[in-house]
Structure 1
Amino acid sequence: MRKITLLTAAVLITACLWSSFTDGSRQRRYGFMNPSAPTLIGLLLTLPISLAVPSITQKFGRSLSLQELIDEDGEIAEALYWDPAYEMPLQKLAVYFAHLELFSMGCQERLICELAAEPETFSPIAEIFLKELRPLHGPVTRSPDSLMWRYMVAMREGFTAPIEACGRSYPKCPLPAKKILNMPVLKVWQFLASKFNVRLV
């Protein structure tokens, strides 16, 4: 008897709900928008990273040529050990550094250090580089011969020390980030990001 009562109640509730949507007037409920209330419309602007990084490359004003930097440093990133688990992030970083024409290991480390020290100053480029250095794929080989470990040490140095310490930690590179990057163009990117919801992918 109780099962029949519950079944009857369920049928009646379903019938009432159905009739409210399928009666002769076919009335349905719709969302209501108040025309006098303020409305915020957001625009998400998605731009490729391949557009942002080359645009902030500093083409002029470097005190040393690229070959002089490599000869003075004596070390390039490609010669170090690449952790297989971090091959994809390292490939992305290699492309970014190639756009910046920055192949000296010392200058790459100094740049990462300074980006980590003042990410707001170098936004959005700092986010582009630093997001590739998150240890998301397991442990990293802790060795001076490991490229990922060297980058992570440089990032940690920037997080824990003022930006001036990066030049002392990597004295083989004479170029600070503000000479490697085209700061006026970077300011344009920051202005766009402040006015629009810009996301680099």
Structure 2
Amino acid sequence: MRVLAVLMVAVLCGMATAGRTKRYFFVNPDAPITLGFLLNMPISLALPTLAPVGGRSLQLYNLVEEEDDRPEELLWDSAYEQQLNRLIAYFAHLELPSLSCQERLLCELASTPESFSPIGQIFMKELRLLHGPVTTTADSLIWRYMSAAREGFASPLEVCATAYPNCPLAAERILNMPVLKVWQYISSKLNLQLV
């Protein structure tokens, strides 16, 4: 890439100095060249690998209290409907239907982002305020998700368990941690970034 840029500059300088003395450029063939590649992978391929095996979703229904709110019962802010749909799809891939467990997961992902990278980045990018203000009530689903992430940003990991006592599952039990470690290794070797 650098060589191409240097050659283009040389050609342009040669055209601009047509009647003047010529200047010569030296290109070092031993200089390192950095190449970048874009890998586009659907999230529907990565997220199911992080869901624990063993029928956890059936066990979760027995552990979570019946009084727990369901995401589909809350107010969906129309400006953030796309982000909410993606978040609900992510939680479905992780077999996590309970709102309190979703909130606890978001809290823990925000509390220690380096421990849960790159999955934490996937969730946190959906919680950006890109489409204006949100309704700040407990009935607003996007507000509940953002509040959970804000709680995690401001607190250590242990606070998330007390902030969301209706969910008995920590993020380490919700996510398949050995597979996450593989994703982290791949991410470190390939300099993987989520945009």
Residue 58 of structure 1: how far off its partner (Å)? 1.1
Of residues 130-139 and 66-75 in structure 1, the stretch that sits farther from structure 2 once superposed is: 66-75
1:127-165 CA deviation, whole Å, 9 max, x = no partner? Answer: 000111111111110111110111111011001110000
- What letter matches 1:92 in structure 2? R
Paired with 2:62 and 2:161, the residues of 1 have a C-alpha distance of 18
CA RMSD of aligned residues (A): 2.6
Partner SS state of residue 47, structure 1:
coil
Deviation at 1:64, TM superposition (A): 6.9
User: Would the alpha carbon gap of residues 18 and 198 (structure 1) be closer, same or farther in structure 2, given more than 3 Å must change?
Assistant: closer
2:65 corresponds to 1:68: no
| Distance change (3 Å), C-alpha of 1:20 and 1:124 | same
Task: State how far apart, in whole Å, the 2-side matches of 1:181 and 1:30 are.
Answer: 59
Aligned partner of 1:49 in structure 2 is: 43
CA shift at 1:199, angstroms? Answer: 4.0
User: What residue number does 1:190 align with?
Assistant: 184
Partner of 1:130: 124
Correspondences of 1:121-200 after superposition (within 5 Å): 121-200=115-194
Q: Distance in 2 between matches of 1:154 and 1:94?
A: 15
Q: Does 1:119 align with 2:113?
A: yes
- 1 CA distance for matches of 2:56 and 2:136? 33
Cα-to-partner distance string for 1:6-50 (whole Å, 9 max, x where unaligned): xxxxxxxxxx958949xxxxxxx9986421223333333332222
CA distance, structure 2, for counterparts of residue 70 and residue 30 of structure 1 = 74
**1:89-104, aligned counterparts within 5 Å?**
89-104=83-98
Please give the alpha-carbon distance, in whole angstroms, between the structure 1 residues aligned to 2:58 and 2:157.
Answer: 21
Cα distance in structure 2, aligned partners of 1:114 and 1:18: 59
Q: Which has the higher contact order (CA 8 A, sep 6+)?
A: 1
Could you tell me how far apart the structure 2 residues matched to 1:19 and 1:156 are?
A: 59
In structure 1, what is the equivalent of residue 6 of structure 2?
Answer: none
Percentage identity across aligned positions?
Answer: 58
Structure exhibiting the larger radius of gyration computed from Cα positions: 1
TM-score by length of 1: 0.80
State whether residues 70 and 103 of structure 1, in contact with CA within 8 Å, keep that contact through their aligned partners in structure 2.
no
Segment of structure 1 superposing worse, 115-124 or 66-75: 66-75
Structure 1 gaps of 5+ residues are: 1-15, 22-28
Aligned length: 180
Would the aligned equivalents of 1:114 and 1:166 in 2 still touch at CA under 8 Å?
Answer: yes
**TM-score scaled to structure 2, two decimals?**
0.82
Please say if residues 107 and 160 of structure 2, whose CA atoms lie closer than 8 Å, have aligned partners that are also in contact.
Answer: yes
For 2:31, the equivalent position in structure 1 comes to 37
Q: Is the 1:75–1:104 contact (alpha carbons within 8 Å) kept by the matching residues of 2? A: yes
Instruction: Provide the rounded CA distance (Å) in 2 between the counterparts of 1:44 and 1:177.
Output: 29
